Amino acid sequence: MSRRVLAALVGRSEEWLRQVELGTRRLDSISVAMQLVEALRFDQLDDLVDPRESAGPDDRRSTALTDEARAGYALPASLRSPYAGAATTAESLARDVAELRDTWWHASDRVAVCQHRLPQVIAAAQAGVRDDPGDEPTAAATVDALCLARSYLVYVGDRRQALVLAERAVTLAETASPASTVVAARALAMSYLQNREFHLALSIATAAADRAGDRLPVLRGSLLSVAAKAASSLGEDERADVLIKQVRQAAAALGSARQQRGVWFGPSDVTLTEMTVAWTGGRREELPELALAAPPDSEMPQNLRIPYYAMIAALCARRRDEGTAVLQLLAIQRLSAEALRYDRMVHTALRDLLRTRHPVLYREIEQLGRLAGLL
């Protein structure tokens, strides 16, 4: 393949490609790197950006780009399937993703189940995209699978690789429907928020919310919620207040629908957004009133209620209200014992509780700490 053809395939100039080959210009775009891999038919991005010069298994030069690129194409080790992906129909793939999403929202052992099944689903999705790259339903189902995998990676503490999967979803969404573009943009905005890139999170979330409009009300409400949290984290309190008002309006305008394409949004999300903004804005004294005003509604999936209880637990632990904090943590344990191990706000609460050594509750707190892996 000539340099001219390859440069055209990835949307860059011949001169740019020549400079990359000579090492005088950095290969600094993950999406372009993945396009090069596919065009050159490499098995791994390692073969493109991090060639081995030694047979030693650990002898590789590591850079921020190669780490991200390796995760983006080959997937993190936890999500790799030991079997080659077999192509499946778009309908079957969408059904598998929907079942896994239901597990993610409702199952008490969601991490264990997704750890087992996500690699198989993603392998099948990648095979489908490879075999029919222009098929819109396959691309849409693959975007949904990657967004679910992103949520899983964030939950188990791998936020950096989660960001790479979100970027991959955005790239794939270009060949899918407009709704897929909004879904992928939300995943990217969430990942930037969780990686503390608040300016990017705010700009992407607000732009995607405008794009969603009235056609995708659930997605629009969720994106406005992300934007409000990002604005608060930037210290833009007035803008955060305006966005929260829009989040309330979006929730009030919803009909019976609460989810679209794997995104949940409803009245309880307004409360969670307000609580998060109060927490990041240093107005934690407002949390109890906010929580009492609108507790999670019964329609909200059980695993999506956990952040609500965790935030109250963290606040009460910090205020030395150990009894209320423990009650909230026990509520989380009843919903999903896994959350004690993986939820970061739960860990914040437990660390404060463990330091206080409450004379009556310490044995209960110590047991929760062991379940969380903190002892």
294 falls within a domain: no
Domain boundary, last residue among 49, 74, 99: 74
312 & 374 share domain: yes
214 & 166 share domain: no
CA nearest to 327, candidates 365, 297, 289, 371: 365
Residue 208: C-alpha distances to residues 177, 193, 194, 232 (Å): 14, 14, 17, 18
93 & 64 share domain: no
370 falls within a domain: yes
98 & 171 share domain: yes
DSSP helix, strand, coil percent of the chain (3-state; round to 5): 70, 0, 25
Degrees, nearest 5: CA angle 209-308-212? 10
Looking at the predicted structure, is the pLDDT value of residue 70 above 60?
A: no
Report whether 166 contacts 188 (CB < 8 A): yes
Q: How many CB atoms lie within 10 A of CB 329?
A: 30
30 falls within a domain: yes
Query: Residue 360: phi, psi to the nearest 5?
Result: -100, -40
Q: How many CB atoms lie within 10 A of CB 134?
A: 8
- Arithmetic mean of pLDDT, 284-293: 79
- Arithmetic mean of pLDDT, 48-65: 35
DSSP SS3 for 61: coil
Q: Residue 259: beta bridge partners?
A: 264
pLDDT of residue 164: 87
66 & 90 share domain: no
Looking at the predicted structure, is the pLDDT value of residue 30 above 80?
A: no
Contacts of 318 (CB under 8 A, 6+ apart): 284, 352
Q: Determine which helix (DSSP H) or strand (DSSP E) holds 148, and give its type and residue range.
A: helix 136-155
280 falls within a domain: no
DSSP SS3 for 259: strand
pLDDT of residue 88: 72
36 & 104 share domain: no
228 & 247 share domain: yes
Domain boundary, last residue among 227, 260, 293: 260
Looking at the predicted structure, is the pLDDT value of residue 38 above 70?
A: no
- Overall domain count for the chain: 4
Report whether 243 contacts 227 (CB < 8 A): yes
Query: Residue 158: phi, psi to the nearest 5?
Result: -110, 70
105 falls within a domain: yes
Looking at the predicted structure, is the pLDDT value of residue 116 above 80?
A: yes
Could you read off the pLDDT of 129-143 as tens digits, one per residue?
888 777 888 889 999
Domain boundary, last residue among 122, 150, 177: 177
308 & 349 share domain: yes
Domain that holds residue 110: 83-177
358 falls within a domain: yes
pLDDT of residue 127: 83
